[in-house]
Structures are given as structure tokens and as C-alpha cells.
Amino acid sequence: MAKIGIKQVAALSGVSIATVSRTLRNPEIVSEKTRQKVNDAVKKAGYKPNKMGSSLRTQESGNIVVIIPDVTDPFNSGIICAIEREAQKLGYSVLLGDTQNDPKRAEQYAEMVEYGQADGILLFSYNLPIDVTPDENGQVNLPPIVNVCESTAYENIHKVMVDDEEGARKATQHLIDLGHKRIAVITGNENTTTNQNRLAGYQKALINAGIELDDRLIMQGNYQIDSGVEQTKKLLLFKDRPTAIFCFCDLMAMGAVKVLHDNGYAVPNDMSVIGFDDIKFAEFTYPAISTVRQPVDEIGKTCMHQLYKLLKDKPAEQYIELKTDLIVRDSTGPAPKG
Amino acid sequence: MAKIGIKQVAALSGVSIATVSRTLRNPEIVSEKTRQKVNDAVKKAGYKPNKMGSSLRTQESGNIVVIIPDVTDPFNSGIICAIEREAQKLGYSVLLGDTQNDPKRAEQYAEMVEYGQADGILLFSYNLPIDVTPDENGQVNLPPIVNVCESTAYENIHKVMVDDEEGARKATQHLIDLGHKRIAVITGNENTTTNQNRLAGYQKALINAGIELDDRLIMQGNYQIDSGVEQTKKLLLFKDRPTAIFCFCDLMAMGAVKVLHDNGYAVPNDMSVIGFDDIKFAEFTYPAISTVRQPVDEIGKTCMHQLYKLLKDKPAEQYIELKTDLIVRDSTGPAPKG
DNA sequence: CTGAAAGCGCTTACAG
DNA sequence: CTGAAAGCGCTTACAG
């Protein structure tokens, strides 16, 4: 049995290949009768139009690539899941671009659109893996791309962001409201914009409450669970220990809680811990982690829609900012007396 | 600036497009001098060969699709990460096929190879989303596919499996060795082969130790964290409570530990809990979860290599079984006296 | 409403 | 070692 192409279907239904193509792509411009014949033949032959053929002709791969540091991070995998669901609805397939924090890999993935392998990019990085030096005409040739969660310095790029500063402010304020005065943070990777914004939110909340900033309470983490462990250990060494720790992601909060337990501290009675993200497991740890929820589904959906608009040459908002929610669970409580 | 295609490069270097193509794909059959010229032109023009063009010609998309139930599951995301790393080394890109447990979606992803969108499939399911009824000549037309972790009933398919039964046996034996006699399990989705094999391993260990099987101790979970929570609650209601719970994945073990804590049980003093998988966070929960490690990186690497062999028409092993390791941490301890 | 033809951007068998 | 040409499987402007 030879492979079924458009030619075979055309022969089977007694029309030209042009008409077969039209029936499949623009049924409304084909007569009812012909349409019927063709559709019957398509079904009978089990014809599946070859994507490479149509892609080459239309100059659209039908793929988008999502460039993201680490699929293994539960926040990221949640986002990817949301993107994929939305992409499918819009008729796109998603290529996975897990950079594993390697800029070279990011560049390779970004090049996929130059190679015609993908039509657009969803970029979760503060680092633009694309050359934006203007050409001789002062023009920058940017592929369809939307920058998500992390913000690139380059301005002329569509962005879907989360109000990290406000989120961090709310988390810190929550601790302040509970009577905490010595509030430590465990940060994410230094250069990320999420980290910088969350740090700003933390500091503003403290200043606003008239609490003096103490740089010793700012511990450098990296959004990974072990850094939550390591930095918390350092914090426990202090003579003037903090009474609360604000971790810039839930994973690090898990690590912090772990260390606290291991060393005989009750959470939240001896020490409060709050995270950021609201990953799926945050409510299932013991104690359930208070956190700042990022609207994962909305982020995924929104950025995919924005990219879709760019791909279809429709007007898209230059900048969209999504809101967070403070989720109070069991890992935060009143500051211990004394 | 017009788009740079092979024609422009050919013109720039004063050779035919055929020679440009050869220089890029088979440099060794091109003269040193020509090669130089062409490579210079390629670099100067910033030429990126169009993938759709070459794919159409070679009939290879250069993509593989991984069909997996839920990227959001940390075990799965670990696997995907490993696959992607390996795929890239072998020159393939990976299309994400998150089925969200919907068979329709699985079929759609599987069809990607019929549409020429992907060259092969990595299938993490006991359900074959492909029609294998033989055609008039008794032939089954199977795309390049390797079945991973979960096993399909269809035999003529290459498989990379994990010795789930042995893994479950080891976990159960570990509990038996600690003096436990009433050992409950919280299973995964009923129909999955992983679940069936783990259940068999559990039962064999008990029988082997002369412990009577009690079906009431078999709780139906679904590999999701909430089912660990729900089923543990039911277990605690029993008058003759178990002293240990073997969860068929770490996520459910996290849920179990959570419920135990919430209800005042100390783990492992009052109740031991052991998981399966060894996801990244298993060691960072409190207490750190004892578990059965699946060789995630090896699984990802091996299945990708197997698929690669199929794609390149090289001989590939029909069946590969990978081993697990028992990882004893802090969530399992001696059975309480009494 | 439909067909014949051009062409998307490559690769490769064939000939020299 | 290199070029001219065919062709991968489609879509679509053009003509009728």
C-alpha cells in the first residue's frame, strides 16, 4: 500500500489536487457536491495532509518554542502545562526549550524561528537570546516573541508580567501584621527581574512599617530547594535570629521548613515561613505553606494569546501585568514573644 | 534586506546551490577551496538553512513527540528533562505531548508522525493511541515508537521499563524487616501496568514473609497528591490501623505524611511511610521520605537512544528493564510495640 | 466553482 | 569535485 498523498486523494475523488486542498482548508469555497466526494475519499484513504509540505508552502511551521530554564521546577511545569493546553486550542504545537540555565542553549532555541522550525517564542528569561543590534537601516529584526514572567531590558518586546513587587509587599506586610520585626528573605537568582522586584517589595513594606532594613537578613538563594536549606541554616546561626523567613519561591520555603524542623523549631510557633508561587504541593507540606499565588493558568493562557496575536499580525498589548494573591495557610503565625 | 536562502549564498560564493547544500551537509565531498568560499559566504550572510525545505526533501522532521500524562508531575518532568537533553545531543527537537490523561489528546499527538510533524514517539502510557489492526496483508504499520515506564499490551513494540515489581518488593521487604506486619498500600491508577506490577511486588513480599494479605489495606489512589491525603484518612479510621503505608509514588507519600502530622501521628514513630520514584523533593520533606528510586536520567537517556536507533533503522533491543534502588531516609522506622 | 501551473527551500541521483 | 534538474507535498494566484 503506497503512501497516501494529496494526489491519491485527488485521483480517488476525481478532482484536482487543488480542489482537495481547498476542501480541506477552505471548504466554503468548494461546492457541496465536490466537498462531499473529497471528504469521502479523504476518510476512505485515511489521508493526513503532510505538514512539511504545507509548512513549506505557507511558511508557517505551526510550532512555537517555549524557552524556559528548568521544566523540573514545579512552577515552570505548571506554566508549560497551561501554555500547551492553550497552544493546542489555537492550532499550535509546542517545542520544549529547556535551557537548563545555559545561555548557549537559549540561543539555539531562539534560532529555531530563523531556521523555520518554529514561528514564535515564549521567553521566560531576563536574558534576550537574540541579537538586537540594529542593521544598517536602524531596523531590528525581532521574531514574534513574548517575554514572560522575567523581564528583558530590551523595551520593544511584548511582555506578560506578574506584579512581583506588590506580591512581595503583601507577603512581607502579612508578616509585619503578625508582629514580626526581624524578617529575613531568601532570594532567587540575583540577576533575575523577579528577584529584584520581590526584593523591592520586601524592602518597601519594611520601610513603610518603620522597620529598619538589615542587609544581613537578605540571604542569596537561587530558587532551588537546596538553597532554601543552606540559607536557612545560616540564618539559624545568628545570635539575633529572625522570627520569620520570606522565601522567594515555595521550593525554597520547603527547604527552609525542613531545616527548621530538623533543628527542633516549630513552624510557625518558633519561626514563620512564607513562600512565593503557590505550586501545587504548597498546601500539602506540613505545615501547609503560606504563599503568594501566581496565576499560573492565566499566565500561560495570556502569553500564548499574545504570541498568537503577533503571529497573526493582530495588535497585541505591549505590556500586561497580572496580579498575585496572598494565600495564608499554616506556616505563618504571630511573632514569638520576647 | 531580502531573506537569505540557499540561492543567495550560492550567488555570493559563486557556486551552485547544490554545492552549498553539500558543503553544509557533507563537507568532506567538497573541495577544500570551495568549502572555504561557501563557509565564508554562509557566515557573512548569516544563512540558516530552512528546516521545512530540508525536512520536506529528506522526509524527516527532526522532531520527536513525547506523549506523557502530566508534565506537572515531578517524576514526569524529570523524565522529560532527561529526554530533551539527550534528544538535543542526537539532533532532535522535542514536541511536548501532555495528554492530561485524555486519550483523545494522546491520539492526536500520536498522529503527529502520520502528519509528518514528528518522526517518532516516546509513549508513557499503557494505552496505545495507535490503531494496530493488521491491514489486508496482515501488516501492522507502526511508527517508530518506544513505550516507556508503562507497558502497552501490544507486544511488537520496543519497550524501556523499570522493574516495578522488584522495586515494590524491596520497599515492602524494608518495612517487614523493620517489624511491620500491617502494611497498607496506596496504589496508582488501577489500569496502569506500573501499578499492577508494584502491587504484585508488594503482595509477593508479604506472602514470602508469611504475612496474610488483607485487601482492606489496599487503598486505591491515582498517583496524585490528594489521593495520598484521602486514602490515608480512610486508613486512620480503621480500628486495626496499619503501622506502615507504602505509597506507589512520592507525591502520595507526601500527602500521607501531611495527614499523619495533621492528626498528631509522628512519622515514623507512630507510622512509617515509604514512597516510590525518588522525586527531587523527596529528601527535603519533613521527615525526608524513604523511597524506591527510579533511574530517571537513565530512563530518559535510554528511551531516547532506543528511539534514535529505530529512526535510523539500526537494530534496537526489544525490551530493556532498568533497576530501582531502595533509598532509606527518615520516614520509615521500626514498627511500634503493641 | 475548478484546474493547470508555479513555487515554497531544500537534497540528491545523474551526468560530466 | 561540481552543476543542472527533478522532486519532496503541499497552497494559491491566475485563468476560465
* Test the B interface: residue of A47, A48, A51, A70 with most B CBs within 10 Å: A51
Residue matched to cell numbers 520516614:
B331
B155, three cell numbers: 507486544
In contact, A62 and A268? CB cutoff 8 Å: no
Cβ contact, residue pair A116, B53, below 8 Å? yes
How far CA B7 is from CA of B10, B28, B30, B40, B52, in Å, comes to 5, 21, 18, 15, 16
How many angstroms separate the CA atoms of B87 and B67, rounded?
Answer: 15
How many angstroms separate the CA atoms of B98 and B72, rounded?
Answer: 9
Q: Tens digit of pLDDT per residue, chain B (338 long)? A: 467 899 999 999 999 999 999 999 999 999 999 999 999 999 999 999 999 999 999 999 999 999 999 999 999 999 999 999 999 999 999 999 999 989 999 999 999 999 999 999 999 999 999 988 887 788 888 999 999 999 999 999 999 999 999 999 999 999 999 999 999 999 999 999 999 999 999 999 999 999 999 999 999 999 999 999 999 999 999 999 999 999 999 999 999 999 999 999 999 999 999 999 999 999 999 999 999 999 999 999 999 999 999 999 999 999 999 999 999 999 999 999 86
Residue A26 CB: number of other CB atoms within 10 A? Answer: 9
| Cis previous bond, B336, omega within 30 | no
User: Which chain B residues contact residue A135 at CB under 8 A?
Assistant: 1
In contact, B149 and B124? CB cutoff 8 Å: yes
User: What is the distance in angstroms between the Cα of B77 and the nearest Cα belonging to chain A?
Assistant: 5
Model pTM? 0.94
In contact, B328 and B174? CB cutoff 8 Å: yes
Q: Which of A225, A226, A284 sits opposite B254 (nearest CB)?
A: A284
Bridge partners of B212, per DSSP, are none
Q: 3-class DSSP state for residue B86?
A: helix
Q: Please, is A86 exposed, middle or buried when counting C-beta atoms within 10 Å of its C-beta (0-12, 13-18, 19+)?
A: buried
pLDDT score recorded for residue B135:
78
pLDDT at A152 over 90: yes
Amino acid at the residue A168? A
In contact, A8 and A45? CB cutoff 8 Å: yes
In contact, A253 and A268? CB cutoff 8 Å: no
- Angle at alpha carbon of residue A221, lines to A179 and A203, rounded to 5°: 40
Domains of chain B by start residue, with CATH: 1-49 (1.10.260.40), 164-294 (3.40.50.2300)
Nearest to B42 by CA among B63, B17, B68: B17
The protein residues having a beta carbon less than 7 Å from any atom of strand D are: A 3, 5-7, 17-18, 20-22, 24-26, 47-50, 52-54, 56-58; B 14-19, 22, 29-31, 33-35, 56-57, 59
Q: Which of residues 111-140 of A touch B (CB under 8 A)?
A: 111-112, 114-117, 135, 137
- Angle at alpha carbon of residue A296, lines to B75 and B252, rounded to 5°: 30
* Test the A interface: residue of B55, B133, B265 with most A CBs within 10 Å: B55
Give tens-digit pLDDT for A213-241: 999 999 999 999 999 999 999 999 999 99
User: Which chain A residues contact residue B280 at CB under 8 A?
Assistant: 72, 225
Residue with smallest Cα–C1' gap to C11: B57
pLDDT score recorded for residue B133:
86
Please state the three-class secondary structure of A95-118 as a single string: EEEECCCCHHHHHHHHHCCCCCCC
Give B298's contacts (C-beta < 8 A, 6+ positions apart): B322
Check residues B247 and A3 and name the one with the higher pLDDT.
Answer: B247
In contact, A297 and A270? CB cutoff 8 Å: no
In contact, B328 and B273? CB cutoff 8 Å: no
Give the β-pairing of B325-327 and B291-293: antiparallel
Q: 3-class DSSP state for residue B96?
A: strand
Structure confidence at residue A338 as a pLDDT band (50, 70, 90): low
pLDDT score recorded for residue B2:
61
A88, three cell numbers: 493546542
Give the β-pairing of A291-293 and A244-247: unpaired
In contact, A288 and A331? CB cutoff 8 Å: yes
pLDDT at A1 over 70: no
pLDDT at A21 over 70: yes
pLDDT score recorded for residue B53:
95
pLDDT at A2 over 70: no
| Residue B11 CA, nucleotide D4 C1', distance (Å) | 15
B145, B146, B149, B151: CA torsion to nearest 10: 70
Q: Calculate the average pLDDT of chain A.
A: 95
pLDDT score recorded for residue B140:
85
Bridge partners of B327, per DSSP, are B291
pLDDT score recorded for residue A133:
86
Cβ contact, residue pair A56, B53, below 8 Å? yes
How many angstroms separate the CA atoms of B99 and B76, rounded?
Answer: 12
How many angstroms separate the CA atoms of B62 and B52, rounded?
Answer: 10
Give tens-digit pLDDT for A256-297: 999 999 999 999 999 999 999 999 999 999 999 999 999 999
How many angstroms separate the CA atoms of A51 and A49, rounded?
Answer: 6
pLDDT score recorded for residue A250:
97
Q: What percentage of chain A exceeds 70 in pLDDT? A: 99
Nearest to B81 by CA among A227, A80, A152, A191: A80
